[in-house]
Structure 1
Amino acid sequence: MENPRIKKGLGVTVVLLFLSITCLPIVNASEGKPDLIIENITIEPGTQIYTEECYCKIKNIGDSPAGDEIEVRIIVKRKPLGIFPALFTVYSDTSTHGIPGGLPPGKSINLYLAPCEILPKFGFFKFSCTVNPLRKIEESNYNNNDLAKNFFTVFGIWI
């Protein structure tokens, strides 16, 4: 009681599926596109005495330059006593940085994000940065655009 029409249709479907999968061109996803990552988040001495500033080191690990403007989002959250899982946002900003000629492949740049003076003078903080948060630059991989780092400060001295 087997229907030969169903067998034939199933066989043709399997063959077409196999051909469609094996005949697709394989293209390297990063070919010709930039890929921005955040290498580090640092707090460095500021331009004025007793001031410190937050910087984010961006690197292009892709195959082509990354646009003339790069956006970076920073979110700073306070961790009560450094042990509670609850986080309270104390600062959030998205800034655009002009880079004439774009960021070449394999090169890094240190971008200014925020002055630390606007933050409380004591506590544990989590700094989260995202490069290209609105995906204005077409990249080969958007999954590596974030970095978070914990800092501690006592009387404005960041550790």
Structure 2
Amino acid sequence: MTGKNAGLAALLRREYGDHIINIHCFSNRLELAFHDVVKSENKYQKLMNLLIGLHKFYKIHKNRKGLKKASEALSINIVAPKKITTTRWLPYLNDGINSLAKNYKAYEAHLASCSHENAKAQGYYSMLLDKGLMTFAIVLQVLLCC
């Protein structure tokens, strides 16, 4: 919307003159700065794929039921996997990482049990076991909370 040539601010400036003041939303600027820092980090994209994938995977009733059974066996109160693609604001990413941390053991147990028959489950399970990726998620969680 703030594009130099075709953005709304540029169109308004052409129509009403140079006295139009263009203000870029602080939350959006923070989001863009964050993405500039992590976009070259392969682990960030892998974490996003995991969080988005878990949300989609557990929207399926059979998988959600299996996760519930695993959480009951482990005496864990699960939190539904968060949809992190609703908007671009960082709090949604933070909610997704918090959900991952709270449900980690239940995810691990359920995905391990169905990974032999489900390729997606196998992929998510191997991502959960990636200690480097989980460490990256924890570091991001700490940074997002500050």
TM-score (norm 2): 0.27
TM-score (norm 1): 0.25
Larger Rg: 1
Which of structures 1 and 2 has the larger relative contact order (alpha carbons within 8 angstroms, sep 6+)?
A: 1
